[in-house]
Structure 1
């Protein structure tokens, strides 16, 4: 997906918000990453006694009333609550006022892999146990995957294009990339873009267990997620949300906005190979990475950090390393590559958005977060940033997201240079 020769406007990031298992704000989330703090623990919200995997990374201590009125949070799924809360933080950080003049130029794009799965489960059980009268008037709206985007648009009065995008585990990155296009080609001046999922439910865990995708280290949750480690045995399901305020650069400069970084590249592809397994040579992943580099108009040798998809599954990690080596060549051995899922677990549709925020922080702070639990790296020549954060000057950061059904999406961020 490239627009190498088309005239386009520059896109900057002026705000970000995070709800995660290791922090309920972007600052708290970042501090936890640098400290190597894990959010993975035994599931306590529902019965797991009959499940092979009994651990996950859940959002803890979240109070929706800090972000939205009671009448709102009671009608929407937790995934939409998380998205709205992250958007509130992002808009506040951006110091942007969406007035009647700006509103038609403000879009919303929120990705999700599973959407409102909690409400969908409740509806099914309610119909079985109590009948049709158990279904409320907002159920149709709240049980749709576009609900988070709709609630954000209502909250801020955003009257430009809005909606949801679902590309499995790549959804958050896909949403950010497509939102960038809206600004580049003039459909919007501002977009609230990101991803959200609340996928730690009994049905979602049971399904992933059936696919043998999850780690079964129930007795050692903090060390269960081991991206790029030879002893990895599966990923960890997680919940959360990440939202960015994307803004046309000249507009952001005119209003004196806090410009955090520039979003310069986006690449997307499809493996067209298997419902759950990646292409054995990482062909789709390579295509997406090369597409993002071409779109950003930079050379692979300019990449200073990669936030890997790094799920901790046998196939994904091996094939992602192969793909990175193929795209970056010898430079792959000089670039720090880390998987923050080792601490957060896999937030599915939220993962790509939250990890783009990680990339943003590496640019601003000159430090890259670690891959914890990488005791025995599969590729000993690659710097997976094991255990401890490392200082690195980062001007260009790449964020990879690869999902079931072969969806691939890659975003590239760069330090802001007017």
Structure 2
């Protein structure tokens, strides 16, 4: 059963919706900025910048909605509403028994959890909000999406660290192919710009510490890369069976053709040094799509800007594509958005679909001196045209714990 993308939604460090986010990405703008707080002075937090939302959910949602949802769920609802309307489903008759929701978070309601603990310590247990557990649950975003759109075919939330959003889209693909649903609202969300996650990632030596140059800090594949930049936001896509989409005359952005998922079984945080699991995920996705490497025109890389991880993925892409890698355009959009953790693969799926729809590969910024090991054609600073005809694109997402997800989209 063929699966197509009929709706897109996001709220991100580049914009409050897909149009503004995509425009900023093509312009090569950075969504990273210095945080306006006193965390560094108060707690000694060593990193003072991140990719914050352009449009806070409080400007879009009602006050009762923001009061009962963790920020991660708020962002998911904003993106899901846009995707739903974009798919033309707001006025359509949708069978709730054939509608699914799969929206993931890598960390869950960390703001709710830590705020509630502060309340216990400072004001006592009796002052904890009754909605604390429903707000902090990692499945809260998908549950709220399910409630919003009456999705009764299933509401799921795979938690696979930074691969969570991509895995949610992969599960949506399988949910439709298995016959469980005709439509699935799927994606990822994350709201973890909080002093504890920042401090913890910094303690792992995972974050860039370029406090004097926030917008230049995320620099995938550059020889001076020194870690990722934390971002926040959500990306949501509406997946639909091709048959169902045609029956209602829906506009189709692209097809989701293949999914590959593997596990490194190597280390709780570090990727397997040879990238075998990452490469295998890409291979499986192409096999499932019925495509060869010659069909691939574009890759939106996981590329977080870490010294080790970037080149493991790049070598895997070169190994997979061989000499055809010279004809493939590589984009690393985290250079502009920062790393949305559980929302990253979903936002980057939106970018991948838009790249195919517009035949334009978005740029990678901040790469002043590419790593000499890089053997794939990196799109730097300005967008570049993708070829006409039938083409495919790969979106890679990898997470702590050895989770590897590759999605293949095509037009």
- The TM-score bracket by the shorter chain reads over 0.9
Once residues 101 and 315 of structure 1 are traced to their aligned partners in structure 2, the CA distance between those partners, rounded to angstroms, is 46
1:171 aligns with 2:171: no
Alignment of 1:334-349 (within 5 A): 334-349=327-342
Alignment of 1:65-80 (within 5 A): 66=60, 68-80=61-73
Which position in structure 1 is the counterpart of 2:86? 93
Which position in structure 2 is the counterpart of 1:399? 395
> Any idea what SS the aligned residue of 1:231 has?
coil
Per-residue CA deviation, residues 193-239 of structure 1 (Å, 9 max, x unaligned), is 00000111110000000000000111011111110111100000000
Which position in structure 2 is the counterpart of 1:360? 353
Alignment of 1:12-31 (within 5 A): 12-31=4-23
1:55 aligns with 2:49: yes
- Report which stretch shifted further, 314-323 or 56-65: 56-65
Per-residue CA deviation, residues 293-318 of structure 1 (Å, 9 max, x unaligned), is 11111001110100000100011111
Equivalent pair of 1:64/1:85 in contact (CA under 8 Å): no
Equivalent pair of 1:98/1:156 in contact (CA under 8 Å): no
> Any idea what SS the aligned residue of 2:74 has?
helix
Once residues 96 and 59 of structure 2 are traced to their aligned partners in structure 1, the CA distance between those partners, rounded to angstroms, is 25
> Any idea what SS the aligned residue of 1:356 has?
helix
> Any idea what SS the aligned residue of 2:256 has?
strand
Which aligned runs of 4 or more in structure 1 are off by greater than 2 angstroms?
A: 63-66, 97-101, 379-382
Match of 1:386 among 357, 380, 383: 380
Once residues 358 and 96 of structure 1 are traced to their aligned partners in structure 2, the CA distance between those partners, rounded to angstroms, is 22
Once residues 34 and 65 of structure 1 are traced to their aligned partners in structure 2, the CA distance between those partners, rounded to angstroms, is 25
Equivalent pair of 1:215/1:233 in contact (CA under 8 Å): yes
Which position in structure 2 is the counterpart of 1:5? none
Count of matched residue positions in the alignment of Structure 1 and Structure 2: 406
Q: CA shift at 1:242, angstroms?
A: 0.4
> Any idea what SS the aligned residue of 2:378 has?
coil
> Any idea what SS the aligned residue of 1:107 has?
strand
Structure 1 residues 110 and 17: alpha-carbon distance in aligned structure 2, compared to 1, 3 A threshold: same
Once residues 340 and 235 of structure 2 are traced to their aligned partners in structure 1, the CA distance between those partners, rounded to angstroms, is 10
> Any idea what SS the aligned residue of 2:406 has?
strand
- Report which stretch shifted further, 43-52 or 124-133: 43-52
Once residues 214 and 343 of structure 1 are traced to their aligned partners in structure 2, the CA distance between those partners, rounded to angstroms, is 15
Q: CA shift at 1:158, angstroms?
A: 1.3
- Report which stretch shifted further, 55-64 or 111-120: 55-64
Equivalent pair of 2:57/2:78 in contact (CA under 8 Å): no
Which position in structure 1 is the counterpart of 2:260? 267
Q: CA shift at 1:45, angstroms?
A: 4.1
1:298 aligns with 2:291: yes
Equivalent pair of 1:267/1:409 in contact (CA under 8 Å): yes
Equivalent pair of 1:190/1:246 in contact (CA under 8 Å): yes
Once residues 177 and 252 of structure 1 are traced to their aligned partners in structure 2, the CA distance between those partners, rounded to angstroms, is 19
Q: Please, what TM-score do these two structures have when normalized by structure 2?
A: 0.96
Once residues 222 and 206 of structure 1 are traced to their aligned partners in structure 2, the CA distance between those partners, rounded to angstroms, is 20
1:139 aligns with 2:132: yes
Which position in structure 2 is the counterpart of 1:315? 308
Q: CA shift at 1:374, angstroms?
A: 1.1
Q: CA shift at 1:393, angstroms?
A: 2.1
Which position in structure 1 is the counterpart of 2:272? 279
RMSD of equivalent CA atoms = 1.3
Once residues 78 and 58 of structure 2 are traced to their aligned partners in structure 1, the CA distance between those partners, rounded to angstroms, is 7
| Unmatched tracts of structure 2, length 5 or more | none
Once residues 368 and 65 of structure 1 are traced to their aligned partners in structure 2, the CA distance between those partners, rounded to angstroms, is 31
Once residues 81 and 312 of structure 1 are traced to their aligned partners in structure 2, the CA distance between those partners, rounded to angstroms, is 28
Match of 1:227 among 213, 216, 220: 220
> Any idea what SS the aligned residue of 2:40 has?
coil
> Any idea what SS the aligned residue of 2:153 has?
coil
Q: CA shift at 1:98, angstroms?
A: 8.1
Match of 1:412 among 390, 408, 411: 408
Once residues 89 and 373 of structure 1 are traced to their aligned partners in structure 2, the CA distance between those partners, rounded to angstroms, is 30
Equivalent pair of 1:17/1:89 in contact (CA under 8 Å): yes
> Any idea what SS the aligned residue of 2:366 has?
coil
- Report which stretch shifted further, 12-21 or 92-101: 92-101
Once residues 296 and 126 of structure 1 are traced to their aligned partners in structure 2, the CA distance between those partners, rounded to angstroms, is 50
Once residues 69 and 216 of structure 1 are traced to their aligned partners in structure 2, the CA distance between those partners, rounded to angstroms, is 36
